Chains A and B, each alone.
Chain A
């Protein structure tokens, strides 16, 4: 069964802190992994995509890593800001073209 798990479910940090969000998947036959953010009442915004052959991707203050052998990905957010408050979702695209989401981590960055 292709399950994707995200820990923690919710996270609250003061502004300026660095933080890590975790995503794990049970089936290692993945093609790529995407991190998204969802703002309340809004759609999904793609943040980073990591191909299965890659170890990490960076965009601004965001860094996503992938360890396919252990079934884990992390999203690192540096110097967090209140505008980073949102729900962060990871989605795994498997080799059979099926895509599954984790339940998300709800992040609150307090000013």
Chain B
């Protein structure tokens, strides 16, 4: 069974550009979480989907971040326009209801 996958693994963009990160959860997992780790800081929660619905998006830093989960399958996280402080590693995780959370390898975003 395939694990959680994220694309791309690395992204280098210039300030002001747009980047879209993708997460494919484990098939059948209703819960999908986005987190990010900015350099030297802790992993911060961004948002939580249950199927296609946003259960909790309290961690989204501002309206430059937009997350979607089409049909309750894969999810995208768009940053538009990107700022320098958005650089970091973005992790996605999925789980069945209240079970192990499985994490993807992360996308390393560098904004120049």
Q: Which chain A residues have a beta carbon within 8 Å of chain B's beta carbons?
A: 31-32, 34, 36, 41-44, 46, 49, 89, 91, 93, 97-104
Contact = CB atoms under 8 A, between A and B. Distances in A.
A100 B105 contact: no
B33 interface: yes
Interface stretch (B66-74, B80-88, B93-101): B93-101
Given A41-B108, A100-B45, A104-B42, 16 more contacts: A31-B98, A32-B98, A36-B103, A43-B91, A44-B91, A44-B106, A91-B101, A97-B31, A97-B48, A98-B45, A98-B55, A98-B56, A99-B33, A99-B93, A101-B42, A103-B42
A34 B106 contact: no
Interface of B: 31, 33, 35, 41-45, 48, 50, 55-56, 91, 93, 95, 97-98, 100-106, 108
Contact of A44 (B95, B98, B103): B103
Interface of B is mostly: strand
Contacts of A44: 91, 93, 103, 106
25 contacts: A31-B98, A32-B98, A36-B103, A41-B108, A43-B105, A44-B91, A44-B93, A44-B106, A46-B101, A49-B100, A89-B43, A93-B95, A93-B101, A97-B31, A97-B48, A98-B48, A98-B55, A99-B45, A99-B101, A101-B35, A101-B42, A102-B42, A103-B42, A104-B42, A104-B43
Contacts of A41: 108
A97 B42 CA distance: 20
B35 to A, nearest CB: 7
Nearest to B42: A103
A7 to B, nearest CB: 13
Contacts of A31: 98
A97 B101 contact: no
Contact of A97 (B43, B98, B105, B106): B98
Most chain B CB within 10 A, of A32, A34, A44, is at A44
